[in-house]
Amino acid sequence: MDRRNRPIAVFDSGVGGISVLKALVRRLSAERFVYLGDTAHAPYGPRPTAEIRRLTLENLRALDESELFKAAVIACNTATSAAIEELRRTYPDRPVVGIEPALKPAADRHPGRTVLVLATETTLREAKYAALAERMGSRCTVVSLPCPELVEFVERGETDSPALEAVLRVRLAPWLARPVGAVVLGCTHFPFASGALRRVLPPGTELIDGSDGTARQTARLLAEADLLRPESAPGEVVFRSTSPDPAAVAQMERLFRGESETE
Ligand code: DGL
């Protein structure tokens, strides 16, 4: 098969990466995407880094055996921080794109202000984030806030509910009465909770996520490697989950279409 017609793998611990998949499909509508969520092991955030790395590598290997992908997008900040170097060593012949909290665009747009970074414990404790936060710390006040419960709410399709809002109010309590420039959604699950976040945060707080930047970078690398399909080709999106429960894939399709359980 022409290498250009092979699919692009999009991987996350569960449903979060669908927020990135949407940006990818908007920008690369002629491409074939195969989305894999490791629902059987989500959430990744509380797991040790070595285990997240192992799960990520094993899932990508299994996906490559069945799909022979031309490029991989690790649509998970947590898996990126644990495994991106090893993945790039494993697949040196293809683009492997990761995602990191969009702190740089937040610092560009809100110099001198406070920027909250919401992410998983793993993302926030890894060296990759520490280096980014230190670089951006000279341009804005960076506050890193683990928000693990949010992943579980989104995994079960509860993207907007009074219980979710209550958790956010507790997590964000110290920041609700102070001026904050932006909130970086440093976990790909979090854009699905944007409605609840907007209601809880002071009006005017900008929410910033890395999905468009990741899609842009993917498009650039595919073009450089001459791996883009012709623009007239029919695009395709296929969902897979490591959970045998068909509800897992149904939930992915619902989030991709923009619906949630509570709507
Ligand atoms: N969606 C993931 C991220 O971007 C991970 C969530 C989790 O499994 O804890 O970090």
Strand duo 71-74 + 182-185: pairing:
unpaired
Nearest C-alpha neighbor of 116 from the set 86, 136, 135 = 136
50-80 pLDDT, tens digit per residue, is: 999 999 999 999 999 999 999 999 999 999 9
- pTM, to two decimals: 0.96
Percentage of the chain surpassing pLDDT 90? Answer: 95
Cα 151 to ligand 1 centre (Å)? 7
Read off the pLDDT of residues 22-40 as tens digits, 9 standing for 90 and up. Answer: 999 999 999 999 999 999 9
Q: Could you tell me the distance, in angstroms and rounded to a whole number, from the CA of residue 118 to the centre of ligand 1?
A: 11
Atom 2 (ligand 1) nearest CA: 76
Q: Is 78 in the pocket of ligand 1 (CB under 6 A)?
A: yes
State if residue 146 touches ligand 1 by the CB under 6 angstroms criterion: no
Tokens coding 110: 């809100």
So what's the pLDDT on residue 178? 85
What whole-number distance in Å separates Cα of residue 116 and Cα of residue 127? 18
Condensed to tens digits (0 to 9), the pLDDT of residues 160-208 reads: 999 999 999 999 999 998 889 999 999 999 999 999 999 999 988 999 9
Mean local confidence (pLDDT), 214-233: 97
- Mean pLDDT, the chain, integer: 95
Residue 262 pLDDT > 60: no
- Cα 263–Cα 164–Cα 150 angle in degrees, nearest 5: 105
Rg for the chain, CA atoms, rounded: 18
